[in-house]
Amino acid sequence: MIAIVDYEPKFIRAINTLGEEYLRCGFYDKARKEFARCIEISKVFVEPWINLGKTLNLLNKESEAIKAFVEATKKMRSKVTDRECFIGMG
């Protein structure tokens, strides 16, 4: 994964996946860095915001984690229209 990120440094899905792997291995500072890097590249990609929140929570930075989760929620809401909320409701 590191080779892919080195080859294509703005491939946000690869960067996010690398951060997830760091998170799974307990390398929280490295994970945080990769999620922040994703966010710098694309402010609208929601997954890194969620993963950043998880990481910050594990680092006992609860207030920062909440801010990341709130930002993720805002990003998700901006992608869904009112009409889409009612699809499949009859």
Task: State pLDDT tens for residues 5-16.
Answer: 555 667 788 899
Separation CA 42–CA 33 (nearest Å) = 14
pTM equals 0.78
- Rounded distance between C-alpha atoms, residue 62 and residue 43, angstroms: 21
Q: Are 10 and 41 in contact (CB under 8 A)?
A: yes
Radius of gyration of the chain (CA): 15
Residue 89 pLDDT more than 50?
no
pLDDT tens-digit series, residues 48-87: 999 999 999 999 999 999 999 999 988 887 665 544 444 4
3-state secondary structure of 11: coil
